[in-house]
């Protein structure tokens, strides 16, 4: 047992250790158990629960040891290339307020977003080196309960019952969130050697994506299944390949928009379709090539849509808004972050990496094709996914005995039997 996690792995006579364990479990329960179900009940509940859960996890780490350890780890993260890229992206976004069309509206949004990202990063740094199995079981329960509630709401609504009436936007958001979290929950079940339960969770969420009132989660779930199949035997190699593909898709977005425009014109496709909407975005990009390099300022895309400058049929995704707001430099920063994220997840190990890559690919697919990825709830959803996934990765050491230890034990047993037979 790791001594660094001794205070949260068993009952202790230290009140601070007991309080830390309670706060950690409560904070993690908000992420893993409450959020998947509560998102179905209210559109803004995830925006409220995520900061509360993050603060509870941070407080638990402060009670466990050196309160400054989290700050030191947070500052140390900027020494890596990925950390420096994130810092540059934040500085560039703040600098773009100087030329954004509505700085009074954009400034509160950018600082709110950065505050949420910083709080989530601090919560990640505050997670213990090894998570308890009793905490991680909440992931499985939360995903299963969320999927069952969503299917129940769909069935009751089909029969005209108001027993489980939910807001219009919540089923789609819940389905997308479950599409990402189900892979983390399945990874935990794989660690526990419960493959049937893992397959059942994936099948449940796949049914949620197909039968839900919106189709937002269908493509992300399908991409996740494909990535899982590819990465099953070679997760690290698949992580390197997916890192290159994700970075290339972000950087080549204007070129892909031009191709979509040519295809839509050649086939006479309507502008309301996906290919037509992506092609319509090319007209916006080509209108001002200089702005394509530097961007038009943070939140400029939303301001342009409100003013009617961007036509309603033009494609709206996180990638298109990054290009419009922050230009090539912003797109390069996002591409580098995605590259490092896929590479890092691919190294999680055979028990976790294939499923983790599937979850990350599902999240990237949603950001690539859906408008909801530009909204506040999605950023909070990514924080939930990151904390849950990293917690599962830190829980595998408790339940999986290292292969080398088993080999040494078997060799010692065979040697002992040989010596006994010789005597």
Contact yes or no for 60/126 (Cβ under 8 A): yes
Grade residue 275 by pLDDT with cuts at 50, 70 and 90.
confident
Euclidean distance between CA atoms 264 and 258, whole angstroms = 10
Task: Of 58-62, 308-312, 405-409, give the range with the top mean pLDDT.
Answer: 58-62
pLDDT tens-digit readout, 48-76: 999 999 999 999 998 887 678 888 888 88
pLDDT at residue 97 in the model:
94
| pTM of the entire predicted model | 0.88
Cβ-count burial of 99 within 10 angstroms (0-12 exposed, 13-18 middle, 19+ buried)? Answer: middle
Q: What is the mean pLDDT of residues 321-329?
A: 94
Least confident of 72-76, 131-135, 383-387, 405-409: 405-409
Would you state the pLDDT for residue 403?
41
How far apart CA 43 and CA 112 sit, in angstroms, is: 18
Residue 421 pLDDT exceeds 60: no
Collapsing DSSP to helix, strand or coil, 1 comes out as coil
Instruction: Answer with the residue of higher pLDDT: 284 or 135.
Output: 135
pLDDT in tens, 137-157: 999 999 999 999 999 988 888
Distance CA 349, CA 331 (A): 30
Confidence at residue 181, expressed as pLDDT on a 0 to 100 scale: 96
pLDDT digits (tens, 9 = 90+) for 157-175: 878 777 777 777 788 899 9
pLDDT value of position 18: 85
209-241 pLDDT, tens digit each:
998 878 899 999 999 999 999 999 899 999 999
- CA 171 – CA 147 distance, rounded (Å): 10
∠ CA 377-359-350 to the nearest 5 degrees? 150
Residues 6+ apart with CB under 8 A from 13: none
CB 289 within 8 A of CB 313: no
pLDDT at 288: 78
Say whether pLDDT at 324 is over 70.
yes
Q: Give yes or no for a contact between 188 and 245, defined as CB atoms under 8 angstroms apart.
A: no
Among residues 353, 347, 418, which one has the least CA distance to residue 389? 353
Closest CA to 34 of 20, 22, 48: 48
Residues ≥6 apart with Cβ < 8 Å to 118? 74
Residue 414: pLDDT band with limits 50, 70, 90: low
């Amino acid at each position: 047992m790791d001594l660094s996690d001794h205070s949260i792995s068993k009952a202790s006579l230290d009140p601070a250790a007991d309080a830390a364990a309670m706060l950690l479990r409560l904070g993690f329960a908000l992420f893993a158990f409450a959020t998947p179900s509560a998102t179905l009940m209210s559109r803004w509940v995830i925006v409220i629960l995520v900061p509360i859960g993050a603060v509870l996890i941070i407080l638990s780490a402060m009670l466990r040891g050196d309160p400054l350890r989290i700050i030191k780890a947070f500052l140390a993260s900027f020494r890596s290339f990925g950390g420096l890229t994130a810092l540059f992206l934040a500085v560039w976004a703040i600098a773009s307020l100087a030329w954004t069309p509505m700085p009074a509206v954009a400034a509160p949004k950018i600082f709110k977003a950065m505050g949420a990202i910083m709080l989530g990063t601090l919560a990640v740094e505050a997670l213990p080196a090894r998570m308890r199995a009793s905490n991680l079981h909440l992931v499985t329960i939360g995903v299963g309960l969320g999927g069952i509630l969503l299917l129940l709401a769909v069935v009751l609504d089909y029969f005209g019952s108001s027993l489980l009436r939910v807001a219009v936007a919540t089923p789609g958001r819940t389905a997308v969130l479950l599409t990402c979290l189900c892979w983390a929950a399945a990874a935990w079940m794989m660690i526990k050697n419960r493959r049937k339960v893992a397959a059942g969770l994936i099948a449940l969420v796949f049914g949620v994506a197909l039968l839900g009132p919106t189709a937002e989660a269908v493509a992300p779930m399908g991409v996740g299944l494909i990535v899982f199949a590819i990465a099953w035997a070679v997760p690290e190699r698949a992580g390197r390949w997916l890192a290159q593909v994700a970075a290339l898709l972000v950087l080549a977005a204007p070129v892909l928009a031009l191709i979509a425009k040519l295809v839509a014109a050649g086939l006479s496709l309507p502008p309301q379709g996906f290919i037509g909407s992506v092609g319509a975005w090319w007209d916006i990009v080509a209108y001002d090539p200089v702005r394509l390099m530097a961007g038009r300022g943070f939140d400029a895309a939303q301001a342009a849509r409100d003013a009617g400058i961007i036509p309603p049929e033009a494609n709206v995704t996180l990638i298109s808004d990054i290009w419009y707001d922050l230009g090539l430099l912003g797109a390069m920063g996002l591409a580098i972050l995605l590259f490092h994220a896929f590479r890092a997840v691919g190294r999680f190990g055979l028990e976790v990496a294939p499923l983790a890559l599937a979850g990350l690919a599902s999240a990237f697919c949603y950001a690539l094709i859906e408008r909801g990825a530009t909204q506040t709830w999605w950023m909070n959803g990514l924080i939930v996914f990151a904390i849950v996934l990293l917690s599962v990765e830190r829980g595998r050491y408790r339940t999986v005995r290292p292969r080398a230890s088993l080999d040494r034990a078997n060799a010692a047993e065979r040697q002992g039997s040989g010596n006994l037979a010789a005597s």
